[in-house]
Structures are given as C-alpha cells and as structure tokens.
Amino acid sequence: MSRNLVAENWRLERSRYLLVGNKCTECEKYYFPNVQICTDCNISKLDEYVFSGKGKLIEWTKIYEVAKGFELFAPLYYGIIELEEGVRVAAQITEVTDDTKLIPGIKTQMVFRKLFEDGSQGVLTYGFKAEPQI
C-alpha cells in the first residue's frame, strides 16, 4: 500500500480503536464512521457517539486470497455486522472455531485486535474485529 498509514492511523484512531462515530442532533441518525455533515438534514451539528460494539451478523465469507498485509491471517473470516444502533460495518470475524455456527442473525461483539501489517512501512494497524457470541 502506498498511502501514508501513519497519518491515516492517527486520523482514524478514535473510530478504529474506540468505535467513535456521531449522531445527528436533528434527525438522530447514527453515523459510523463519523461525518462532518448530516446530508439528510444539511447540518453540521452532530454529537459524538461511542458505539457499544454489540451487534449481529448480517453475512460472512472466508477469504483465501487475501490482500497484501493480511497474509498472516489467511484464510480469514470477513463479514458485515449490524451494530445495535442500526449502522452496518465490515469487519474480520475472529475467534471462529466452527463456521457452521456463523448464521446470519447471531450476536456479535466488536473486539480490539491487530488488523494488518504493512511490511514496507513497518506499520501495524489495529482496530476492531467482530467476535461471535455463541
């Protein structure tokens, strides 16, 4: 990856580490990742909101041909999670011992893990993964 991961990791630290997003003060819509403007209301007045990390599995796959930086984790489970506030995120699914139990609708909890490592820049990137609650 040729982008500046140090700057990116700094900018995204609170979203990736603490699940910080925001909530529109007008229509109460939740945003993750956080936004500067609620385009539904055309206002910039949004309150910071920390997501609980509780959610449910929407869909998943097991990736065998991973992108650069993810070789250590291959094959990896990846899916879409709907947080209890209604916002959906994509994430790796961790601690999977039996993937026949990965059924859409099961409860998940976001946990803090190493996401990938960039060999060329020597940068480790951390963030959330989803852990099934079975």
Residues that bind another protein (CB under 8 A): 1, 3, 8, 12, 33, 58-71, 73, 76, 78-80, 88-92, 104, 115-116, 125, 127
Q: In what order do the strands lie in the sheet with 46-50?
A: 30-31, 20-24, 46-50
Q: Does 86 bind Zn ion (CB under 5 A)?
A: no
Residue 122's binding partner, choosing from another protein, Zn ion, none, with beta-carbon cut-off 5 to 8 A by kind? none
The smaller minimum CB distance to another protein, of residues 33 and 121, is found at 33
Nearest C-alpha neighbor of 56 from the set 96, 21, 107, 5: 107
Q: Does 40 bind Zn ion (CB under 5 A)?
A: yes
CA distance 41 to 116: 36
